[in-house]
């Protein structure tokens, strides 16, 4: 499955030329207007964002900051692409926290290689996990449902993370007790109560928690109506 | 506080030059001996590795793989540095997944910024965090201080997480409140209450949470 990337540049020529190259390797959404990108990105789920720097109105650095501030940001790599390959511009890019700065002089092969490399790097270090409308940010230790924070107790968060990590397999009851209750003695009724509370909070989720008799629990995708 | 950098290079003059240039912001542990990586990784907990590419005994790419596969590898950034800026070498580095490939021609200022950029990126996204003898695993929610498991509440883990991600810099109470409680209105004093409850649980930590007026940060604990 191809990764989906966003490329924002005020120059139509740049957009068209690079789109042809990038489309051979990724699904590409191009944006000539950064404001349109900022409107679209919360509902899209990009695997990488490529930003031009010098744009009239709102520049690449500002777009970057707005993405980082947004609670909808999924942690994907953000790379700058610019013909302004001066020391000070590169330093500013890295100081802001961008993952990479690519000069427009780079060969198309290298641009693609760098984007792929950063996507792969972030894929293997996923600190934000999206599962349908649910998002768990493991660095913040918070869950979000349809963009809004979903308040969960620590036990609920532990249960949910375990189920997501094990999906689509069944988590044996022993493992639930070990991971969530640190192996201490816990009544079945207690486990049931917590799972029940969790299920109630996730009624509208595309997935549901199912009890597997005599074995444990698992996450299953609901059949669409 | 300086970041610890483990630097491998076969040329002594590169080692001397780099150590001098970076010693302001980094505690540089440099060696020409590529095979010492295992011992060095056990002795030091680096915040980043800097690898020369072309070395006679073992090239940088091979060393990169050995570091990643080492049981003591803590997930920190491994960065290449080389005078070789050929497309072939750069592509090889990107294809391996290396997080940065730096040219020796760069100004020190940029070299420092790029190294710190990668260290901070790791801090912001890593699921296993370490400061001194405290480690936090954000996937299993396990907190270990001096080899012993410590029981923290969700709020305590969130507070520790924010402080870790900003380390060694401080956060203000308002920033902490915003990051942890979001839009919920919380009294400033609540932060202090949680930190007061948290500190005793971390008494065996070689660092501590310092509160300086409005600034809160993690600092090395001063010997009594």
Q: Which domains are seen in chain A, by residue range?
A: 4-123 (3.40.50.2300), 128-221 (1.10.10.10)
Q: Within an 8 Å CB–CB cutoff, is residue A97 touching chain B?
A: yes
CATH for B128-220? 1.10.10.10
Distance from CA of B91 to the nearest CA of A (A): 6
The residues of chain B scoring below 70 in pLDDT are 224
CB–CB contact A97 B121 (8 Å): yes
What are the tokens at B76? 């920190």
Residue B154, φ and ψ in degrees, nearest 5: -60, -45
User: pLDDT tens-digit profile of A184-207?
Assistant: 889 989 999 999 999 999 999 999
Distance from CA of A225 to the nearest CA of B (A): 33
User: pLDDT tens-digit profile of B54-94?
Assistant: 999 999 999 999 999 999 898 899 999 999 999 999 999 99
Q: Within an 8 Å CB–CB cutoff, is residue A180 touching chain B?
A: no
Give the domain ranges of chain B.
3-125, 128-220
CA distance B196 to B143: 18
Q: Within an 8 Å CB–CB cutoff, is residue A117 touching chain B?
A: yes
Q: Within an 8 Å CB–CB cutoff, is residue B97 touching chain A?
A: yes
| pLDDT tens, residue order, chain A (225 aa) | 689 999 999 999 999 999 999 999 999 999 999 999 999 998 888 999 999 999 999 999 999 999 998 888 888 999 999 999 999 999 999 999 999 999 999 999 999 999 999 999 888 877 888 888 999 999 899 999 988 899 999 999 999 999 998 999 999 999 999 999 987 889 989 999 999 999 999 999 999 999 998 899 999 999 875
Distance from CA of A167 to the nearest CA of B (A): 15
Residue entry with tokens 């290689």: A113
CB–CB contact B125 A127 (8 Å): yes
Residue A186, φ and ψ in degrees, nearest 5: -135, 135
Q: Give A16's strand partners.
A: none
Please check whether residue B99 is in contact with residue B143, taking contact to mean a CB–CB distance below 8 angstroms.
Answer: no
Distance from CA of A171 to the nearest CA of B (A): 15
Mean pLDDT (chain A) is: 93
CB–CB contact A94 B139 (8 Å): no
**What is the pTM for the complete model shown?**
0.88
Q: Within an 8 Å CB–CB cutoff, is residue A27 touching chain B?
A: no
CA distance B39 to B70: 11
Question: What per-residue confidence (pLDDT) applies to A144?
Answer: 92
A187-203 core/surface letters (b: 16 or more CB in 10 A; e: else): eeeebeebbeebeebbe
By C-alpha distance, the chain A residue nearest B76 is A125
Angle, helices A188-201/A154-166, rounded to nearest 10 degrees = 80
CB pairs under 8 A between A and B: 82
The CATH class given to the B3-125 domain equals alpha beta
Q: Within an 8 Å CB–CB cutoff, is residue A154 touching chain B?
A: yes
């Amino acid at each position: 499955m191809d990764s989906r990337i966003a490329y924002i540049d005020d120059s139509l020529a740049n957009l068209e030329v690079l789109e042809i190259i990038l489309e051979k390797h990724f699904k590409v959404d191009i944006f000539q207007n950064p404001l349109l990108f900022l409107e679209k990105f919360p509902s899209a789920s990009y695997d990488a964002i490529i930003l031009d720097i010098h744009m009239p109105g709102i520049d690449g650095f500002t777009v970057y900051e707005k993405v980082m501030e947004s609670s909808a940001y999924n942690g994907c790599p953000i790379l700058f692409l610019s013909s302004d390959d001066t020391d000070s511009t590169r330093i500013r890019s890295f100081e802001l926290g961008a993952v990479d700065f690519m000069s427009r002089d780079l060969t198309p092969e290298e641009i693609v290689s760098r984007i792929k490399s950063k996507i792969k790097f972030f894929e293997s270090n996923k600190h934000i996990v999206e599962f349908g409308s649910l998002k768990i940010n493991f660095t913040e230790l918070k869950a979000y449902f349809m963009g809004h924070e979903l308040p969960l107790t620590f036990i609920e968060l532990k249960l949910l993370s375990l189920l997501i990590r094990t999906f689509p397999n069944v988590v044996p009851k022993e493992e639930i007790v070990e991971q969530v209750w640190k192996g201490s003695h816990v009544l079945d009724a207690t486990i049931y109560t917590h799972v029940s509370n969790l299920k109630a909070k996730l009624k509208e989720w595309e997935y549901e928690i199912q009890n597997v008799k005599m074995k444990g629990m698992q996450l299953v995708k609901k059949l669409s109506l | 506080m300086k970041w610890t950098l483990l630097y491998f290079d076969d040329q002594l003059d590169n080692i001397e030059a780099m150590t001098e240039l970076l010693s302001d912001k980094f505690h540089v542990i440099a060696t020409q001996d590529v095979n010492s990586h295992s011992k060095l990784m056990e002795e030091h907990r680096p915040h980043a590795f800097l690898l020369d590419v072309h070395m006679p005994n073992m090239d940088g790419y091979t060393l990169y793989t050995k570091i990643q596969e080492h049981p003591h590898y803590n997930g920190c950034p491994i960065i290449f540095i080389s005078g070789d800026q050929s497309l072939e070498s750069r592509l090889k580095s990107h294809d391996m997944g290396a997080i940065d490939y730096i040219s020796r021609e760069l100004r020190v200022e940029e070299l420092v910024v790029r190294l710190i950029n990668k260290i901070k990126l790791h801090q912001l996204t890593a699921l296993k965090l370490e400061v001194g003898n405290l480690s936090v695993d954000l996937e299993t929610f396990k907190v270990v201080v001096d080899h012993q498991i410590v029981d923290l509440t969700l709020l305590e883990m969130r507070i520790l997480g924010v402080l870790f991600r900003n380390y060694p810099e401080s956060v203000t109470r308002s920033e902490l409140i915003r990051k942890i409680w979001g839009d919920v209105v919380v009294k400033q004093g609540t932060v202090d209450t949680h930190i007061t409850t948290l500190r005793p649980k971390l008494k065996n930590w070689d660092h501590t949470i310092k509160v300086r007026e409005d600034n809160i940060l993690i600092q090395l604990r001063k010997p009594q």
